[in-house]
Amino acid sequence: MAQRFEDKSVLILGGSSGIGRATAAAFVDEGASVTVTGRDPEKLQAVHDEFGVLAIRSELGNLDETRQAVERAAEASGRLDVLFVNAGAASLGRLAKITPEAWDECYAANVRGCIFAMQYALPFLVEGSSIVVSGSVAAYETQPTVLAYSTAKAALQTAARLIAADLAPRNIRVNTVVIGPTKTELYTRGADPARIALQEKAFADEVPIGRMGDAPEVARAVLFLASDEASFVTGSELLVDGGHLRLSSTRKQS
């Protein structure tokens, strides 16, 4: 296998489980020196033990912890070549039920923390480096039960395009991977197996490919955007959703 990231330093914010963990494994397989952050010490230790990555306990919504994590990752390799801003927090609630506290918590993780993480990384990102932001099809959908999360992701994805324009003169590319229904621990944690099966069936009926995605599929898209293969790609949004966002209406009509 080609080692696209040999001698490259990669920081994954939110890399202890799910998509972040799968992406960490993929970067390690391709020769990168990887640092991951997360909130759960046991999961961080497991990722460290399995892949040999530097694992730092840090919550993206806490700016002091985020700054310290970025600085530690950069100090370990002397530079940053790739930043994958993957951490975030889901939030449920319609307009009549959402609380200011839940709204602020969602935006702290999904917008404020992500944007300032990119700012903190700026002194360490070398020319030709890449930032990949974890977006969501929720930014474009009209599910009223995820008001805070959907609007937060929309704000982050808009910010990523603006930051791409800002950093283009430095030859730092910024792209978003827009993720559709994907099987992760967050999706299955604590849920009844029968309920999980029903939800998977519901998603499969909505996705033109006929199934949910898995974390390694998203990871491969992240690696493409971070690699030199995407050297002329910035300010873009790569849909990794099985056609859910663009093709679902066509499928329903057929």
Characterize the bridge pairing of strands 213-214 and 173-179.
unpaired
Determine whether 149 is an active site residue. Answer: yes
Q: How far apart are CA 188 and CA 50, in angstroms?
A: 22
Fill in the DSSP letter of residue 191. -
Residue carrying structure tokens 């030199």: 228
Classify each residue of 20-32 as buried b or exposed e, where b means 16 or more C-beta atoms within 10 Å of its C-beta: bbbbbbbbbebeb
Report angle CA 200, 183, 11 to the nearest 5 degrees: 165
Tokens representing residue 129 in the block: 């480096």
Instruction: Give the closest residue to 135 by CA, choosing from 117, 148, 149, 121.
Output: 149
Q: Which of 107, 120, 140, 149 is catalytic?
A: 149
Q: How far apart are CA 251 and CA 138, in angstroms?
A: 19
Tokens representing residue 87 in the block: 């951490």
DSSP codes joined into one string, 42-63: HHHHHHHHHH--EEEE--TT-H
Q: How far apart are CA 219 and CA 221, in angstroms?
A: 5
List active site positions: 149
